[in-house]
């Protein structure tokens, strides 16, 4: 008990796990930017479906622009994630490699999808474009889920802090 009182006075907690990194500004920027590509790719999937149902060419144009916006914001999110990792904010977090790998694969599929959508007419979306959109969205959601899990403190760290 005396140790706890002394730690409280000095502000130093000797029980805390030293492997837990504190998130920096790059971590916050990474979290902020990470939602944009997921949203843009999800909307591109919706507009692909709208094009498949209606045949109105404008839906294909919407999909193409949404995919480009997703690739730009996804690239910025990856850069922020790399800065977060390089500065030590993401080191020691469980699942960072999976999150990073799934995001990179999803963005590469999105790039292929952008090339598929650059074709003319029906073949730009059906069937390859909509399947690539669906797979890209699925990978981003799984990667986001894994990324969310890595921000949760482990039971060992939680027990050490209490």
Q: What is the mean pLDDT of each run of 10 residues along the chain (162 residues)?
A: 50 49 74 94 96 93 97 96 82 79 96 93 89 96 88 56 58
Residue count (the chain) = 162
Q: Which residues contact 10 (CB under 8 A, 6 or more apart)?
A: none
Q: Record the pTM.
A: 0.77
Query: Residue 154 has what DSSP assignment?
Result: P
| Distance separating alpha carbons of residues 77 and 35, to the nearest angstrom | 9
Does 114 sit behind a cis peptide bond, omega within 30 degrees of 0 on the bond before it? no
């Amino acid at each position: 008990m005396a140790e706890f009182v002394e730690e409280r006075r000095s502000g130093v907690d000797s029980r805390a796990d030293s492997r837990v990194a504190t998130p920096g500004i790059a971590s916050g920027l990474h979290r902020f930017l990470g939602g944009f590509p997921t949203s843009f790719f999800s909307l591109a999937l919706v507009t692909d479906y709208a094009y498949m149902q209606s045949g109105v060419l404008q839906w294909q144009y919407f999909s193409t622009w949404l995919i480009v916006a997703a690739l730009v914001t996804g690239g910025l999110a990856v850069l922020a994630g790399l800065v977060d990792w390089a500065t030590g904010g993401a080191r020691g977090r469980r699942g960072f490699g999976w999150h990073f790998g799934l995001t990179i694969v999803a963005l590469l599929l999105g790039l292929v999808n952008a090339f598929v959508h650059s074709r003319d007419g029906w073949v730009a979306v059906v069937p390859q474009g909509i399947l690539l959109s669906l797979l890209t969205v699925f990978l981003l959601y799984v990667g986001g889920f894994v990324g969310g899990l890595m921000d949760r403190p482990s039971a060992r760290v939680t027990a050490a802090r209490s």
